[in-house]
Structure 1
Amino acid sequence: MVEIDKGLFCDLAKFYGEAFHLPPLAAKIYSYLVFDFERNGVSFDEFVEIFAASKSSISSNLNLLLNLNIITDFTKIDERKRFFVMNEKYMKIRFEEIIEKMELELLILNKLKTFRNTSDETALQKFDIYSNLFNKNITNIKDTLDQL
């Protein structure tokens, strides 16, 4: 079993539940995996024991996390069990999705500016500030992802 800090575990479960829109058990499973620093993996049976939940609940929540690419699974050569770990590529996937949404919003905003066709300096200045904010954040996130 993985050693955890219960207070930090609760904070993580609440945060991931809200940030990733996860049901409580899925957020707890993911939070538990955060403490698997050695990436040894946690088996299905361990999750059933740790969370005292039904096999079907554990199974459906693991499948949800797998489908969202938040976790991955593997089998060890000498065992038939599946082990689950955090997807180390998930943060990159998550931030790439954020970039896509910001780029799409910026594109729509530009179309709106063209449609409005105003000469109001205040409105144009606000648009430029908003647009610069998007561009700086997109560039910053892309540069950071390149470093990963």
Structure 2
Amino acid sequence: MHKSIEIDEKIFQDAVKFYGTIFNLPPLASKIYAYLLFDYEKVGITFDEFVEVLSASKSSVSTSISLLLNAELIVDHNKMDERKRYFFINDGYKKIRFEKIVQKMKDELKLLDDLDHFKKNHDDGYNEKIEAYKALLNKYIINIQESLNKL
């Protein structure tokens, strides 16, 4: 079997490190994700190609693919006339990722509001830094949501 896509080794290694850190992925899952980044034409990568190209065991590749599928980082498709599954980057994940970021910011705002309410009941002091931080969070939430609507 040959590689169905061309990769740049340095960019691949940089992507493995970056996405492993960003998505908190184990090394092999990060390699699979980084490899899929080079599938510009969306031909899809088969399980067997991952095993061969990454020199990994079938069980390790299977575990890593399951993790990536469950995290919605990748998707799979079967072609009509074949039994093989083809794997692709989940283009919708960018939107999912930022929706999760927005939700975390909203959760933090609620927590800060609850703390602020509690503090006001016990202290007449007003914390300008907290208010500035909350304003910044609100600004970013609006900005990200407007950008998400364009995706």
- The one-letter code of the counterpart of 1:136 is K
- Report the counterpart of residue 125 of structure 2 in structure 1: 120
The separation in 2 between residues aligned to 1:5 and 1:127, in whole angstroms, is 45
Q: Calculate percent identity across the aligned residue pairs.
A: 51
Q: Within 5 A, what are the aligned runs for 1:60-99?
A: 60-99=63-102
**What TM-score results when the alignment is normalised by the length of structure 2?**
0.94
- Report the counterpart of residue 131 of structure 1 in structure 2: 134
Name structure 2 gaps, 5 residues minimum: none
The separation in 2 between residues aligned to 1:67 and 1:127, in whole angstroms, is 36
Residue 77 of structure 1: CA displacement? Answer: 1.2
Name structure 1 gaps, 5 residues minimum: none
The separation in 2 between residues aligned to 1:137 and 1:34, in whole angstroms, is 28
What is the CA deviation profile of residues 82-122 of structure 1, one whole-angstrom value per residue up to 9, with x for unaligned ones? 0000001001111101111100110010010010014334x
How many pairs does the alignment contain? 146
Choose from 112, 120, 145 the match for 2:148: 145
Moved over 3 A (4+): none
RMSD across aligned positions (CA)? 0.8
Equivalent residue of 1:111, what SS? Answer: helix
**What TM-score results when the alignment is normalised by the length of structure 1?**
0.96
